Structure 1
Amino acid sequence: MHKPRIIDPMVHNSSSRPRLSPSSYEEDIQQVLAPRLAYFAAVARHEHVTRAAHELAVPQSTLSRAMVRLEEDLGVALFARKGRTVSLTPAGRAFLTTVERALAEVERAADSVRADADPATGKVAFGFLHTMGSETVPALIRAFRVDHPRVRFQLVQNYGEAMIERLRAGDLDLCLTSPVPDAPDLVARRLDEQRLRLVVPDDHRLANRKRVRLMEAADEAFVTLEPGYGLRRITDDLCAEAGFKPRVAFEGEEAETLRGLVAAGLGVALLPPPAVARPGVRELTVTAPRAAREIGVAWLDGHPDTPPVAAFKRFLLSRRGHLLPEQAPYGSVPAP
């Protein structure tokens, strides 16, 4: 069924014309105008329907009808006609200025998405945990770029729940997170496991120990990440498994900030190994319960991958079991 032409009720008052609410008119006029903007710009540029039709590779009659319909739908004369030659009216010149800007923006947008999808030089929007930023992620990108030297990365460093939100919003292609999410709209794959240490001040009563049961720290004050961080959830769960609820002295956003506060004597913390050893603390292996966190990669289910995203995803999955830097065997601890 042929869709009725959209006529601005503010310009055409004939009772035979459809009358639309302002919101309905705005939505429908965009659908009507958009396909004709390139046609209008070509006719305006050539000031000749035949030459414009030749450039656009459309029949002249099609182009002529499109321009007549465009003027009718706008309710404004855009062209002054003399045979097949046309010239812009003042309204046409004003309209052309905006149309050219709109078409240029569309062209820039098209160039941008094509560039992002280019197999050799495209873009990967990649999110990762704060604790992965100092060593793990730089090493991954460096290794990936051996074979893909010109792929660009848009990096986002955040806590797990915030990254999942950005993944769902379409801001990220992939994210490296912990715990590994389990949700029907996401695909997640376990990549590695990272052991957690009980970090204590170097003058602490447990500082000369190499191994400790977590219950032995039940009376200690803990410095932890804020609620919503995956490591905070793991800390709470491990303490509950050990038989106590941690007494929290401070909640922060960075693991290394917590390590510094431990060195200052504010409390103890469950943390992954540091990239560089920090003076003033001892890192103890927790023997019971087994203190570790899974690291995984997640993406939106059913979301099509561009070639660079697909290549980086394959690369990450190929690193299963070897994602993280070498760690001391479970049950041992590096010498202070």
Structure 2
Amino acid sequence: MAHQQRSPAHLSPSGDTEDMTDMSMLLAPRLAHFAGVARTEHVTRAAQEMRVPQSTLSRAMVRLEQDLGVDLFARRGRTVSLTPAGRTFLTSVERALAEIEKAAEEVRADADAATGKVAFGFLHTLGAETVPGLIHAFRADHPRVRFSLVQNYGEAMLERLRAGELDLCLTSPVPDAPDLVARRLDEQKLRLVVPADHRLAARRRIRLAEAADETFVTLEPNYGMRRITDDLCKEAGFKPRIAFEGEEAETLRGLVAAGLGVALLPPPAVARPGVVELTVTAPRAVREIGVAWLDGHPDTPPVAAFKKFLLSRRGSLLA
């Protein structure tokens, strides 16, 4: 049968993105049917294997050819053979169907209760001890659950949460937004970190107002810890004079050790030489740690299990 060019039934000559999207929507439901007919080269046999009425399958193939504007099959009764255009089309269709099947297997695997995956975000300062300890404890009962871990500052994690890139995140301050659900889990005492040779280094406790004349090193303004620092200093009656802004707490400790300022920070995982950490007695210097997730977002079984585990650790998250 000679190759016959048809006029596409649903594709406008502009060929723009909208046209391509429309064509994809037209073709997608028929691709598996096409592959089945092409594999068997027999409409009746393909209909039996795919458990669809033969008449439905025949109409679908005719409509597919009309939409493409080319003949895909040469027909001899109920037996068919691929045209050159059909063979070209089949190669791409089989590749597309294989990718779809691969994607389906991946999402099923990620949702599996025993071996699924949790996309979990957390603050840098919780990465050295807190998060490894949590995952270790959780996997005592869920040894094969996998984790995709993301360390970032609070606002960046909330953006990724909203984008669907994270299932859960540990952050501070605990967010209050209509599209998120957040639960307070624990609080962490903050300390005033000063150089080891500082005039206050011999002290164990300090009122924050006593540091009003000091130069501070802080995290950048979009970090939750920076907002907490600004708020605590304001409550103590002063606005901090800031010399350096950074992105990571341990870098700030290094700046303090070098004598470049003082900082309000959570406790380190490992003591840093060259600095002294003072308990702040007034105002009450703490940061709340909470877990957040997207409101209305359905949980897979492994995410639901890890969320339940985190909520069970209220008051002992940082222990």
TM-score by length of 1: 0.91
In 2, the alpha carbon distance for the partners of 1:287 and 1:130 equals 26
Residue from 4, 8, 12 that aligns with 2:7? 12
Aligned residue in 2 for 1:84: 78
Q: 1:32 to 1:18 in 2, by over 3 A?
A: closer
Distance 1:18 1:250, change over 3 A: closer
What corresponds to 1:151 in structure 2? 145
- Among 19, 22, 28, the alignment partner of 1:25 is 19
1:218 corresponds to which residue? 212
In the other structure, the counterpart of 1:235 is 229
Question: In the aligned structure 2, how far is the partner of 1:294 from the partner of 1:237?
Answer: 14
Shift of 1:130: 0.4
Give the aligned residue type for 2:293. Answer: W
> What is the percent sequence identity of the aligned residues?
81
How far is the alpha carbon of 1:50 from its aligned partner?
1.3
Whether 1:206 aligns to 2:200 is yes
Q: Unaligned 5+ residue runs, structure 1?
A: 1-9, 326-336
Alignment-derived partner of residue 133 in structure 2: 139
Which residue does the alignment assign to 1:100? 94
Alignment of 1:1-336 (within 5 A): 12=7, 20=12, 22-23=15-16, 24-325=18-319
Amino acid at match of 1:302: G
- What is the one-letter code of the residue matched to 1:293? R
> Number of aligned pairs?
313
TM-aligned CA deviation for residue 42 of structure 1:
0.6
Q: Secondary structure at the match of 1:279?
A: coil
After TM superposition, give the deviation of residue 227 of structure 1 in Å. Answer: 1.2
- Matched residue SS, 1:125: strand
Instruction: Give secondary structure in 2 for the equivalent of 1:273.
Output: coil
Which whole-Å CA distance do the structure 1 matches of 2:58 and 2:213 have between them? Answer: 85
1:18: how far off? 6.7
Work out the CA distance in 1 between the residues paired with 2:223 and 2:118.
Answer: 24
Q: 1:76 is paired with a residue of what secondary structure?
A: coil
Relative to structure 1, the CA distance from residue 50 to residue 240 in structure 2 (aligned partners, 3 Å threshold; closer, same or farther) is same
- Paired residue for 1:3? none
After TM superposition, the runs of 4+ consecutive aligned structure 1 residues lying more than 6 A away are none
- Measure the CA separation in 2 of the matches of 1:12 and 1:272: 69
